[in-house]
């Protein structure tokens, strides 16, 4: 039980800083504004009790890989806060009740948190705000997860172009990426007990076949940033980014970005420094180009917070699906007739990660060959992906299904051709299909099909 010191409300300003998917100290406007205003801050993370219950698609909102990454990130955040004489309050439950309870417990007059763009999260903030107001507590919200700040866009949210190219060209021409906000030097908190993390999570073992082992936390994100950029891997990014396997064909920044262990602005300025030192090229630009895709989905969600989760997406097109539960199960469990699909889905289940090319191929197969309702696929990714982010996930799925921002009306990939182009020597499939790895020396695989 925490002993909360009585405070003089006339003189002492206290604020709850509600960390969600912004688990960092550097370039975090929410934290900076709270520290500027308050005499004492109480950093909080609330594990939403609904994350472990079933969604309407029979999946969970978080699987074991992201859970591990999340807890690692929180543990590191707590350590960094402790170095600054603060700490982290961890709680589990309904965030609206928990944040309200903690604000009252600590006599906080304000709650600082990150702004949201997706429907459920916006609704949660709206309900929290109503509850806080009843107790005279103010909710202060800041946009902290995009490269371009929402207020620097050259158009209103209502007028955001529906096509990526139009969005990108205008922001590149008329907006600038702001400087980073430095970690506040001094902040004070009341005495906070150290969290006993082992009460909440048990580490899982990494699959040795994974091309990259992700560890959550801000320091780990910065380590990867230096590793990918300073070592020069970024110089080959554009040519290599479609590969299926390997530690450095792509940046692997996505899990840290998704949980906010690093900001896209930090990555951007790091790339710019590299360009100033060693020169710019197609590849250094292309990584920024991909971060603009990420922004595009976030701002599109701001415009259509609910529609991206509907079957007809933002296009309002009615699509005929003959959704079959058995096909969904076969796809999830790597039991389709296509061994390339099975290999990708196995990699996803065992590691929580899949290349961008892999995600496009399995999504296309799910929608156009298995004729399943794309939202089931998106919700399976939501459970499994270590880098799950509502906008990037549901936005990309809707795009491939032809109900999102794609003016060409969806993306169909020919699986045999993809296998021939990206896994000609079967090395990827051999790695992820145990049935094949045990037979790999026999080298008798001629077809992409293992089950009929
Ligand atoms: P890199 O190629 O190194 O790219 C750098 C960064 O740019 C990424 O970390 C990511 O933040 C951003 N980025 C790259 N490609 C995209 C893209 N197509 N859309 C949005 N942002 C992009 N990405 C997620 O972060 N979370 C998701 O839940 C997610 N779900 C996806 C679902 C499908 C069906 C598809 C096709 C793509 C999805 N992506 C998602 C986008 C992309 O596949 C991953 O961001 C990328 O593979 C992560 O690896 P990386 O960090 O090495 O990427």
Tens-place pLDDT, residues 24-33: 999 999 999 9
Asked if residue 385 has its Cβ within 6 Å of ligand 1, the reply is: yes
Asked if residue 393 has its Cβ within 6 Å of ligand 1, the reply is: yes
Domains and CATH numbers, the chain: 14-144 (3.40.50.620), 150-177+218-303 (1.25.40.80), 322-451 (1.10.579.10)
User: What is the number of other CB atoms lying within 10 angstroms of the CB of residue 361?
Assistant: 25
Give the pLDDT confidence of 396-445 residue by residue, as tens digits.
999 999 999 887 777 899 999 999 999 999 999 999 997 544 444 333 33
Give the pLDDT confidence of 131-172 residue by residue, as tens digits.
999 999 999 999 999 999 999 999 999 999 999 999 999 999
The residue whose C-alpha atom lies closest to atom 20 belonging to ligand 1 is: 294
Position of tokens 């990918």? 228
Asked if residue 98 has its Cβ within 6 Å of ligand 1, the reply is: no
The Cα 385–Cα 348 span in angstroms is 7
Q: Is the pTM of this model over 0.75?
A: yes
Asked if residue 257 has its Cβ within 6 Å of ligand 1, the reply is: yes
Q: What is residue 11's predicted lDDT score, i.e. its pLDDT?
A: 76
Contacts 24+ apart (CB under 8 A), 290-293: 290/241, 291/147, 291/264, 291/267, 292/147, 292/148, 292/167, 292/168, 292/171, 292/172, 293/164
Query: In terms of Cα–Cα distance, which of 377, 362, 361 is closest to 324?
Result: 377
Q: What is residue 435's predicted lDDT score, i.e. its pLDDT?
A: 52
Asked if residue 362 has its Cβ within 6 Å of ligand 1, the reply is: no
Query: In terms of Cα–Cα distance, which of 238, 212, 242, 210 is closest to 357?
Result: 242
To test the pocket of ligand 1, the residue of 214, 245, 290 to mutate (highest count of ligand atoms within 8 Å of its CB) is 290
The per-residue DSSP string of 256-309 comes to HHHTTSS-HHHHHHHHHHHHHHH---HHHHHHHHHHHHHHHHHHHHHHSTTGGG
The pLDDT confidence band at residue 77, using thresholds 50, 70 and 90, is very high
Enter the DSSP assignment of 338: B
């Amino acid at each position: 039980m925490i002993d909360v010191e009585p405070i003089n409300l006339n003189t002492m300003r206290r604020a709850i800083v509600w960390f969600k998917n912004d688990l960092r100290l550097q370039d975090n406007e929410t934290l900076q504004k709270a520290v500027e205003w308050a005499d004492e801050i109480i950093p909080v993370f609330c594990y939403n009790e609904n994350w472990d219950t079933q969604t309407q698609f029979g999946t969970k909102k978080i699987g074991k890989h992201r859970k591990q990454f999340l807890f690692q990130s929180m543990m590191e955040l707590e350590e960094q806060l402790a170095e600054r004489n603060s700490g982290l309050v961890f709680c589990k439950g309904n965030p609206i009740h928990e944040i309200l309870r903690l604000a009252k417990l600590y006599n906080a007059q304000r709650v600082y948190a990150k702004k949201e763009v997706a429907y459920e999260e916006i609704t949660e903030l709206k309900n929290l705000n109503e509850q806080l107001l009843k107790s005279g507590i103010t909710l202060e919200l800041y946009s902290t997860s995009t490269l371009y700040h929402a207020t620097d866009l050259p158009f209103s949210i209502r007028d955001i172009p529906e096509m990526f190219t139009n969005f990108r060209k205008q922001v590149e021409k008329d907006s600038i990426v702001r400087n980073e906000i430095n970690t506040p030097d001094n902040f004070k908190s009341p005495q906070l007990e150290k969290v006993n993390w082992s009460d909440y999570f048990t580490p899982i073992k990494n699959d040795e076949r994974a091309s990259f082992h992700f560890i959550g936390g801000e320091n780990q994100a910065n380590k990867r940033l230096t590793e990918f950029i300073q070592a020069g891997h970024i110089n080959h990014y554009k040519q290599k980014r479609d590969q299926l396997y390997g530690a450095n064909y792509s940046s692997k920044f996505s899990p840290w970005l998704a949980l906010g262990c690093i900001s896209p602005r930090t990555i951007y300025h790091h790339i710019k420094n590299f360009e100033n030192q060693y020169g710019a090229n197609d590849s250094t630009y292309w990584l920024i180009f991909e971060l603009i895709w990420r922004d595009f989905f976030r701002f599109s969600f701001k415009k259509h917070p609910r529609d991206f989760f509907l079957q007809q997406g933002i296009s309002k097109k009615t699509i005929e699906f003959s959704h079959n539960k058995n096909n969904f199960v076969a796809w999830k469990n790597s039991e389709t007739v296509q061994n390339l699909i099975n290999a990708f889905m196995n990699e996803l289940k065992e590691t929580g990660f899949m290349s961008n090319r892999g995600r496009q191929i399995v999504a296309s197969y799910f929608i156009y060959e298995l004729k399943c309702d794309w939202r089931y696929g998106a919700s399976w990714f939501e459970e499994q992906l270590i880098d799950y982010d509502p906008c990037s996930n549901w936005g990309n799925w809707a795009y491939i299904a032809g109900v999102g921002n794609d003016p060409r009306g969806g993306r169909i990939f020919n699986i045999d051709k993809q296998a021939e182009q990206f896994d000609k020597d079967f090395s990827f499939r051999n790695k992820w299909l145990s049935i094949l790895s045990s037979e790999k020396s026999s080298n008798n695989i001629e077809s992409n099909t293992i089950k009929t």
